[in-house]
C-alpha cells in the first residue's frame, strides 16, 4: 500500500469486528477496496466469477486471508443471485456493490434481459430487496458513474436496446442513481450511498471483457493509465462511502475536474438528475422489475 493511501486510511475509524461484502471483488477497484477494508480491520466476503482469480487474490492478500471469504456470484444470472443470497453471512455491516460491466456488445441473460442492464442496475437492486428484508443493519453502497449525467432513461426502452454501448452504460448507471434516490425516499430508515470512484484505466477496458478492440487496449489504455487515477486511489471514494454520503441526493466522488481525479468528497448530485421527471417514472419500472 502506498504512503498517501496509508495516510488517508489512518484517519478513518476502525472497522474491526465489522463484516463487509464486496461484489466483483476480483476487479481492479474492488481489489484495492478489499485491501483497504482489511487494513481497517474488517472481515470481508468478496464475490468472484473466476475461481482462479479469486484464489490468486486471496493468496496475494496473504496473511490476512483468515479474514477473507470468497463466494461465487454472477449478476447476469438470476439463479446465481438467488443462491448467493442464501449463503450470505448472518450479519452484514457494509455491502459494497462494485461489480460492473461496461461497453459490452449486445447480449442477453437467460431471462432475456440485456446484460449491462442486469449487471449494472437490476441485479444489485434485487440484492438490496433481500438486504432490506433480512439485513436492515446493512449500509448499502452502490458504485455509480458520472456517465449518469450524460444520458436519460427512456422508460419505453429501459434496457436501452436502441442505443450504442457507451450510452447503454450511462443509462444503466443513471437507473442506479434513480434507484438510490428512490430507496432514500421510500425506505428512509435505511442507509444507502451512491459513490463514483473517478476514472481509472482498469480491467473494465480490457478487450477480453468484450467491448473494446485489442488496438484500443494496446494504444489507448496505456495513455489512460498515465492520465487517470490508479485503482488504489479510485477505491478511496468507496472507502469514504462507508462513513459518509448517505444524505438524500448526495454523491461521494473525487473533487477534481469532471469528478475524474482527486480526493474523495461528499458532493450534491446535479439538479439535472435530482429534478428530473425520470424520478416520477422510476417506481413504475421498479414495480415491474423487482424480484
Ligand atoms: N474504471 C473506471 O473509470 C470507472 C468509472 C466509473 C465507475 N466505475 C465502476 O466501478 C466498478 C468497478 O469497475 P473497475 O473499473 O474496477 O472494473 P473491473 O476491474 O473490470 O471490475 C469489474 C468487476 O465486476 C465483475 N463483474 C463483471 N460482470 C459481472 C457479473 N455479471 N457478475 C458478477 N461480477 C461481474 C468483474 O468480474 P471479473 O473479475 O470476473 O471480470 C470484476 O471483478 C464498476 O461498477 C464500474 O462501472 C469504474
CB-count exposure of residue 70 (10 Å: 0-12, 13-18, 19+): buried
Please, what is the average pLDDT of the chain?
A: 92
In angstroms, rounded to a whole number, what is the distance separating the alpha carbons of residues 229 and 198? Answer: 7
pLDDT in tens, 214-260: 887 788 878 888 888 999 999 999 999 999 999 999 999 999 888 88
Which CATH number goes with the domain that contains 94?
3.40.50.720
**Cα of 24 from ligand 1 centre, angstroms:** 6
Is residue 234 situated within a structural domain? Answer: yes
Whether 4 maps to a domain, the answer reads no
Contact criterion met (CB below 8 Å) for 141 and 94: yes
Strand, helix or coil at 277? Answer: coil
Residue 26 counted as domain residue: yes
* From 53, 123, 202, mutation site for ligand 1 pocket: most ligand atoms within 8 A of C-beta: 202
Q: List, in sequence order, every residue forming a beta bridge with 191; answer none if it has no partner.
A: 139
Which backbone phi and psi does 173 adopt, to 5 degrees? Answer: -70, -30
Q: Which helix (H) or strand (E) holds 250?
A: strand 250-254
In tens, the pLDDT along 263-273 reads 999 999 999 99
Range 38-56 average pLDDT: 95
How far apart CA 101 and CA 225 sit, in angstroms, is 19
Q: Is residue 2 in a domain?
A: no
Return the percentage of the chain with pLDDT > 70, whole number.
98
Structural domain contains residue 6 = no
Cβ neighbors of 3 (< 8 A, separation 6 or more) are: none
pLDDT of residue 63: 62
Do residues 252 and 264 touch, judged by C-beta distance below 8 A? yes
φ, ψ of residue 111 to 5 degrees: the values are -90, 5
Q: Is 90 exceeded by the pLDDT of residue 70?
A: yes
Kindly report the protein residue whose alpha carbon is nearest to atom 40 of ligand 1.
49
50 lines ligand 1 (CB under 6 A): yes
Task: State pLDDT tens for residues 196-219.
Answer: 999 988 887 777 766 677 887 788
Residue 49 makes CB contacts below 8 A (sequence gap 6+) with 26, 72, 73, 74
Is residue 5 domain-resident? no
The answer to whether position 3 is within a domain reads no
57 lines ligand 1 (CB under 6 A): no
The arithmetic mean of pLDDT across residues 169-188, rounded, is 95
Whether residue 131 contacts residue 92, with contact meaning beta carbons closer than 8 Å, is answered with yes
pLDDT value at 10 more than 80: yes
Answer yes or no: is 8 within a domain.
Answer: no
Structural domain containing residue 34: 13-289
Q: Which of 27, 33, 227, 262 to mutate to test the pocket of ligand 1 (most atoms within 8 A of CB)?
A: 27
Enter the pTM of the model: 0.96
* Number of separate domains in the chain: 1
Amino acid at each position: 500500500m502506498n504512503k498517501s493511501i496509508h495516510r488517508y486510511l489512518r484517519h478513518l475509524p476502525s472497522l474491526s469486528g465489522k463484516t463487509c461484502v464486496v461484489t466483483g471483488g476480483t476487479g481492479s477497484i474492488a481489489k484495492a477496496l478489499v485491501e483497504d477494508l482489511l487494513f481497517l480491520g474488517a472481515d470481508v466476503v468478496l464475490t468472484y466469477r473466476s475461481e482462479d482469480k479469486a484464489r490468486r487474490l486471496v493468496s496475494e492478500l496473504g496473511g490476512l486471508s483468515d479474514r477473507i471469504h470468497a463466494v461465487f456470484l454472477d449478476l447476469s444470472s438470476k439463479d446465481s443471485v438467488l443462491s448467493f443470497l442464501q449463503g450470505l453471512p448472518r450479519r452484514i455491516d457494509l455491502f459494497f456493490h462494485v461489480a460492473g460491466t461496461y461497453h459490452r456488445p449486445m447480449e442477453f441473460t437467460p431471462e432475456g434481459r440485456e446484460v449491462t442492464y442486469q449487471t449494472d442496475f437490476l441485479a444489485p437492486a434485487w440484492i438490496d430487496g433481500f438486504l432490506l428484508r433480512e439485513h436492515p443493519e446493512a449500509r448499502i453502497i452502490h458504485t455509480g458513474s458520472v456517465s449518469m449525467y450524460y444520458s436519460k432513461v427512456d422508460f419505453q426502452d429501459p434496457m436501452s436496446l436502441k442505443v450504442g454501448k457507451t450510452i447503454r452504460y450511462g443509462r444503466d448507471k443513471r437507473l442506479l442513481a434513480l434507484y438510490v434516490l428512490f430507496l432514500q425516499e421510500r425506505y428512509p430508515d435505511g442507509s444507502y450511498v451512491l459513490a463514483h470512484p473517478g476514472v481509472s484505466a482498469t480491467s473494465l477496458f480490457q478487450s477480453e471483457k468484450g467491448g473494446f478492440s485489442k488496438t484500443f487496449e494496446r494504444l489507448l489504455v496505456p495513455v489512460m493509465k498515465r492520465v487517470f487515477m490508479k485503482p488504489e486511489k479510485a477505491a478511496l471514494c468507496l472507502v469514504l462511502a462507508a462513513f459518509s454520503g448517505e444524505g438524500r441526493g448526495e454523491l461521494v466522488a473525487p473533487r477534481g475536474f469532471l469528478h475524474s481525479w482527486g480526493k474523495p468528497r461528499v458532493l450534491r448530485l446535479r439538479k439535472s438528475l435530482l429534478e428530473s421527471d425520470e424520478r416520477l417514472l422510476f417506481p413504475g419500472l421498479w414495480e415491474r422489475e423487482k424480484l
